[in-house]
């Protein structure tokens, strides 16, 4: 069996909200969690390690950092899982199991899977989905409910695992036009989280530096596009009547 483990220091938060993001369409979730890390100066707490992850080490100001990292925010009572690398389908199921099992073990209250959804309308709405109707009621006033479609990749796999294990999971999907990095869609997801959770995380810098971020993350977007092209089904726009 492939060895995959979560290696983490002792946490200070109690019953935290968990946010997860992995590179996908528009890098919407990835840019959002990267903004959390820098804007809030989050505390690094650990990593997710696996034998089948690409042999890549990330550099942050000259310091080596594994590509899938875990951060903690005591002020927001939150745990954040951020990935710098696309995740192949061969590990998605196993990684999802580890993440949801760990979320349960630390008594996380909910899991939010942050990702993008491609449309051709040029808007920046946020779509939402959840693992049960009660959770949909909680978010319906802040998002457009994603009524019909699919969520591919690790974002969808994590939500499936939440269903299997009876764990409260939600998806927040930022509307984007394609694979190019879309910081503005990420900002909309952050604004929804602010409304849902009573946070006040500024997106001013994210909007101001949007063009720089788009250029900086273009290579990761291309790598993500190649991974997504191997997946039979991608996120689809809800097919409203």
Q: Residue 138 pLDDT > 90, yes or no?
A: yes
Q: Which residue has the higher pLDDT, 131 or 121?
A: 131
Query: Which two tokens mark 102?
Result: 């760990």
CA distance linking residue 85 with residue 223, whole number of Å:
8
Q: Which residue has the higher pLDDT, 121 or 79?
A: 79
Contact 67, 224 (CB under 8 A): no
Considering only the C-alpha atoms of the chain, give the largest distance between any 2 of them, rounded to a whole number of Å: 52
The overall pTM is greater than 0.75: yes
In tens, the pLDDT along 16-65 reads 999 999 998 889 999 999 999 999 999 999 999 988 888 888 888 899 88
pLDDT at position 236: 42
CA distance linking residue 170 with residue 135, whole number of Å:
7
Query: Which two tokens mark 156?
Result: 């969808």
Q: Residue 112 pLDDT > 70, yes or no?
A: yes
pLDDT at position 123: 84
Least confident window among 34-48, 93-107, 205-219: 205-219
For the chain, give the percent of residues with pLDDT over 90. 66
Residue-range domains of the chain with CATH = 14-30+86-228 (3.40.50.10900)
Average pLDDT over residues 146-150: 89
State the DSSP H helix or E strand holding residue 222, giving kind and residue range, or none if neither: helix 218-228
CA distance linking residue 28 with residue 206, whole number of Å:
12
pLDDT at position 211: 78
How does the average pLDDT of the chain come out, rounded?
A: 89
Phi, then psi, of 230 in degrees rounded to 5: -85, -15
Contact 14, 110 (CB under 8 A): no
Average pLDDT over residues 141-163: 94
pLDDT at position 229: 61
Which residues are bridge partners to 173 per DSSP? 115, 127
Contact 33, 14 (CB under 8 A): no
């Amino acid at each position: 069996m492939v060895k995959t483990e979560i290696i983490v220091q002792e946490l200070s938060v109690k019953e935290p909200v968990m946010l997860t993001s992995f590179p996908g369409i528009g890098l919407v979730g990835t840019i959002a969690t990267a903004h959390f890390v820098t804007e809030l100066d989050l505390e690094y707490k650990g990593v997710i390690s696996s034998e089948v992850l690409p042999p890549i080490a990330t550099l942050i100001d000259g310091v080596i950092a594994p590509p899938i990292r875990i951060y903690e925010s005591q002020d927001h009572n939150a745990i954040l899982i951020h990935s710098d690398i696309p995740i192949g389908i061969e590990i998605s199921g196993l990684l999802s199991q580890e993440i949801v099992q760990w979320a349960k073990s630390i008594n996380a209250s909910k899991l939010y899977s942050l990702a993008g959804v491609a449309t051709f309308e040029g808007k920046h709405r946020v779509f939402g989905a959840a693992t049960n109707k009660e959770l949909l009621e909680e978010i319906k006033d802040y998002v457009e409910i994603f009524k019909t479609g699919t969520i591919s990749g690790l974002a969808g796999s994590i939500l499936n695992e939440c269903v299997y294990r009876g764990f409260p999971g939600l998806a927040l999907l930022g509307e984007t036009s394609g694979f190019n990095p879309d910081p503005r869609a990420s900002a909309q997801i952050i604004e929804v989280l602010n409304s849902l959770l009573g946070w006040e995380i500024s997106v001013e810098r994210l909007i101001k530096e949007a063009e720089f971020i788009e250029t900086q993350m273009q290579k990761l977007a291309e790598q993500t596009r190649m991974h997504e092209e191997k997946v039979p089904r991608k996120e689809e726009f809800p097919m409203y009547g």
